Amino acid sequence: MRTIGHFIGNKPVEGTSGRFAPVWDPATGARATRVALASATEVDQAVAVAKEAAAAWRSASLARRTALLFRYRELLVAHRDELARLITAEHGKVHSDALGEMARGLEIVELACSIPEKLKGELSTEVSTGVDVSSIRQPLGVVAGITPFNFPAMVPLWMFPVAVACGNTFVLKPSEKDPSAALRLAELAAEAGFPDGVLNVVNGDKEAVDRLLAHPDIAAVSFVGSTPVARAVQLGAIGHDKRVQALGGAKNHMLVLPDADLDLAADSAISAAYGSAGERCMAVSVVVAVGEETADALVARLASRAAAVRVGPGTDPDAEMGPLITREHRDTVASYVGGARDQGADVVVDGTGYTVPGHEEGFFLGVSLLDRVTPDMDAYRDEIFGPVLCVVRAGTYEEAVSLINDSRWGNGSAVFTRDGGAARRFQLEVETGMVGVNVPIPVPVGYHSFGGWKDSLFGDHHIYGNDGVRFYTRGKVITTRWPDPADTDAGIDLGFPRNQ
């Protein structure tokens, strides 16, 4: 069986730990290959290579860095279909979703191509007689990224292009569940001309993560994953004096007011809830409908649309939703549907027990729609991370916003309404880091930063955009006084001719 290794110093490196994890084909349930799990020693090797490259890379001109990033972007565009196929093979999402993932990752590469603009400093002249003050930003050194299974290409691209553009070198630890896309990203970076050691990939599990958090030569750690692990990463990084940005889980709410376009709201909720099988931190998992009449009309529309969602392998061009990442995760998600029924919810559409003909062993689950969900139910409280949409009924706008703000998560939210005043009030009152107005998944474009509030973010910085540049650099203020060459009392002779 083929074994996936690491990529260190611009070349493939076989694993030496003797530990491996299976990589599954979610559409068939078959073990496709295996991935080597790095030991602490192998992590040390990658960090040492990155540290050796750091001194030269931080001194590389902005012109050189941006030229390499422009070349890298062109390679990603040329290979995006290939990368999308790798994503589909190991994650399971349909090909169109995988292409969308590549498009959002490319946005951040394009942001990184503009790094000279982002790294411009500030200058104040004559703050005192003959004294100037300037502010500059400098790279941190070696930084690390720990990325999740649900976006195996996009989330790494949210991290390392900005980090290396700022002059850092990078060690990436992707998810061991679908590692091939990250390795291919590193291979293309080498092809683009990135110097040896600027971008390195080590595959692994908790042992590799723990070593990255403890390694004295790692200056900062970026993480995207579940809330419990994000909290642990933050504590581990801070405990070893590292800068950290750790993005956690979510329970994103979509508020539908009585005046909303209910067809638009229903279409948006279906796409946002079931796209990528619900395995995304920006999925809409709760619709809050204000008023019984609104809720009844909206649930009817959601039910008809949910029943029509085409589920199949990601390679099927007609499929709109693929399988889940593992059998265990599929079964966990399914358990929430039965649990919600037991706790009093109405199961309007039940996707449990769904099979795809010819792929009976695949990790498939149909879409589920739950109505009359209440905040005390497990399906509401927990991040399910699957194709399950909950509908909560609220009597008033104030009740709905209060319910959203009581959530321990604060990643994203959306409001659907025709009333500009109501929308403005919502965007100011809701306690989430990202807000959509008639937009169900408000993922910011590359030049604005991504991140939530409360238990959805640990650390002070959001990811990519200006926050990303600030995270991967540190400021320095320089105060300067130079003697005036015309001041003969200063005793300076520059060799200029003088008239006697």
CA–CA separation, 212 and 221 (whole Å): 8
- pLDDT per residue as tens digits for the range 425-483: 999 999 999 999 999 999 999 999 999 999 999 998 999 999 999 999 999 999 999 98
Instruction: Say which residue the tokens 């940005």 belong to.
Output: 245
Cβ atoms < 10 Å from Cβ of 124: 11
User: Looking at the chain, which residues constitute the CATH 3.40.605.10 domain(s)?
Assistant: 3-248+456-479
* Average pLDDT taken over every residue of the chain: 96
Backbone phi and psi for residue 441, each to the nearest 5 degrees, phi listed first: -125, 90
pLDDT at 488: 58
Could you list the beta-strand ranges (E) of 95-232.
122-128, 131-139, 142-146, 169-173, 199-201, 218-224
Whether residue 390 lies in the annotated active site: no
CA–CA separation, 134 and 62 (whole Å): 19
User: What is the rounded average pLDDT of the residues 244-255?
Assistant: 97
User: Looking at the chain, which residues constitute the CATH 3.40.309.10 domain(s)?
Assistant: 252-437
Whether 281 and 247 have beta carbons less than 8 Å apart is answered as yes
According to CATH, the superfamily of the domain at 3-248+456-479 is Aldehyde Dehydrogenase; Chain A, domain 1 (3.40.605.10)
pLDDT at 490 over 60: no
Q: What value, to the nearest 5°, has the Cα angle with vertex 336 and ends 332 and 339?
A: 125
pLDDT at 207: 98
Contacts of 389 (CB under 8 A, 6+ apart): 269, 270, 273, 274, 284, 285, 286, 287, 302, 306, 367, 368, 369, 370
Instruction: Place 132 in a pLDDT band, splitting at 50, 70 and 90.
Output: very high
CA–CA separation, 212 and 237 (whole Å): 9
Instruction: Place 492 in a pLDDT band, splitting at 50, 70 and 90.
Output: low
Token couple for 391: 């509908």
Instruction: Say which residue the tokens 């002070």 belong to.
Output: 460
- pLDDT per residue as tens digits for the range 193-211: 999 999 999 999 999 999 9
Question: Considering 113, 166, 281, 390, which one is annotated as catalytic?
Answer: 281
What does the buried/exposed string (b/e) look like for 280-308 if buried means 16 or more CB atoms within 10 Å of the residue's CB?
bbbbbbbbbbbbeebbebbbebbbebbee
- Of the candidate ranges 221-225, 269-273, 368-372, 460-464, the one whose mean pLDDT is the lowest: 460-464
Q: Which fold has domain 252-437?
A: Aldehyde Dehydrogenase; Chain A, domain 2 (3.40.309)
Whether 336 and 398 have beta carbons less than 8 Å apart is answered as no
